[in-house]
Amino acid sequence: MKKKFVQIEVVDQNNRPITSMDINEVHRQSLRHRSVIILVYDSEGKLFLQKRSPQKKLYAGRWDISAGGHVQTGESSEKAALRELETDLGIRSSNLKLIEEIEASSESGYEFVTLYILEKQNSIPDLNKEEAESGYFYSESEMDWLVRECRELLVPALVFLYDRDLLFKFK
């Protein structure tokens, strides 16, 4: 797989840009930066999770958030969310709703996370096979069971949001 060089902004503790660097170097140095997470729900309020591709470098085969990624240099959080939604799930939509801004910390991977929701998606999205092998809409009780019984099968970001009661709070 070809290594991608993506430039993202390194930010200070107040989320102000300092410089732009390659994403791999930002992660290697644990520098503060920005990301977006989009939670996709169906009309019954079930949350779509994607199962990461077995070829992924990190957390291969684990269940992950609906869609998400890094805010690239010069990009707004909303534009990044729309780009990730289309890239990861093949969804083009302008119905994103901003619901939460999460401060950068070691628990968030030093990321200032902007959390969006997209509701009433009633079919399995068109998954990017480089990113995910499958997906499923989970109810809140199914999610509770997954976290309780299969926590090791979930990516840390998903558990982070679950532990903060952010997965079903806004639906």
- 170: pLDDT strictly greater than 70: yes
State the Cα angle at 83 between 80 and 88, rounded to 5°: 120
Top pLDDT among 171 and 107 is at: 107
DSSP assignment letter at 83: H
Q: How confident is the model at residue 50 (pLDDT cuts 50, 70, 90)?
A: very high
pTM listed for this prediction: 0.92
* Residue keyed to tokens 């997906």: 135
Q: Reading across the β-sheet that carries 63-64, which strands appear in turn?
A: 63-64, 47-52, 132-138
The pLDDT of residue 124 is above 50: yes
Fold adopted by 7-163:
Nucleoside Triphosphate Pyrophosphohydrolase (3.90.79)
DSSP state of 71: P
For the cut 90, the answer to whether the pLDDT of residue 3 exceeds it is: no
Domain locations in the chain as residue ranges: 7-163
